[in-house]
Amino acid sequence: MSNKSLAIEASRAKVAILLCTYNGSRFLGEQLESFVKQTHENWVVYASDDGSSDDTLLLLNKYQQMLGKDRLILLSGPREGFARNFLSLVKNRSIIADYFAFSDQDDIWFEDKLERSIAKVAAPHDIPALYCSRTRLISADKQVQGFSPLFSAAPGFANALVQSIAGANTMLINVHARELLAQTPDDAVIVAHDWLTYLLVTGCGGTVFYDSQPTLDYRQHSENLIGANNGVRDRLVRLAKMWTGRFSEWSTQNLLILNSFRQKLTPQSQRTMEQFEQARQSSFFLRLYLMKKSGIYRQTLPGNISLFIAACLNRI
């Protein structure tokens, strides 16, 4: 297919914006307005509310009246946390689209977010594809505070086993990636849905496009469930989690889900995961050998140093 044909196809693609809300009326209006301003116009918002007690539902109903019931569809979330809420949208078979974009309730999308995302994942039609990007960090009153970390190492399963490189709020996936996510066991403990998406797409032979240019303003405020993790304090918090074994618990939960997808993993991903699993249960020197043989890596030198320390302490 020619570049011109791909561009035409991309411009016509339908995008399902999967929006999870919970007591988000303070900032939700600006996020909804950023949808309206998208240069890619073929989208439908599926808003799953997890039991808001503020004016969130009033605001959603207001925008539904403005946009129409065919462009903003309201759903009731499972009320089991944000990861479960997102997964309930992914598993909802009544939601049919060419691409699926995850959205938080308090960001502000750049006008070309969808257009730029689709352009990157439009080509690989027969494999899972994931687009993600950096974010621009802003305060509650929209003052720019910096950017999320810039990663330069290639995305891959060996990286995904020990690190998630981008927030779900930046992600857009194709139908094949959606099908993978939809097969997540209902009883699985989900550490983070963005991390799970990265693991499944890379592990099952998909393609990941990491954009070094931000696609949205990521608002930092006291009500964030997950912040940017970009400062010295955040690094210290991560080290504390490593020391207490929290990261090791997360790895265990991720591996339980991955094992349910074992037959869908590529042969290389299976070998990498098996070596990683064996290393976690081995004595010191064998553990370090198997960790190295598995090829696992983080995106930065400080990250790889902390990974080595975690391996030494058997906290991975």
User: Largest Cα–Cα distance of the chain, in whole Å?
Assistant: 63
Q: What is the pLDDT of residue 11?
A: 84
Q: Is the pLDDT of residue 117 over 70?
A: yes
Lowest mean pLDDT among 149-158, 189-198, 238-247: 238-247
pLDDT tens digits, residue range 228-253?
555 555 555 655 666 677 899 999 99
pTM: 0.92
Between 205 and 239, where is the model more confident?
Answer: 205
pLDDT tens digits, residue range 86-95?
999 999 999 9
Helical pair 301-312 and 284-294, crossing angle rounded to 10 deg: 150
Please say whether the beta carbons of 134 and 148 come within 8 A: yes
Q: What is the pLDDT of residue 224?
A: 52
| Res. 83 pLDDT band, cuts 50 70 90 | confident
Q: Where are the domains of the chain?
A: 3-219, 232-312
Q: Which long-range contacts (CB under 8 A, 24 or more apart) does 228-233 make?
A: 228/135, 228/137, 228/148, 230/137, 230/146, 230/147, 230/148, 230/149
Superfamily (CATH H level) for 3-219: Spore Coat Polysaccharide Biosynthesis Protein SpsA; Chain A (3.90.550.10)
Q: What is the pLDDT of residue 276?
A: 98
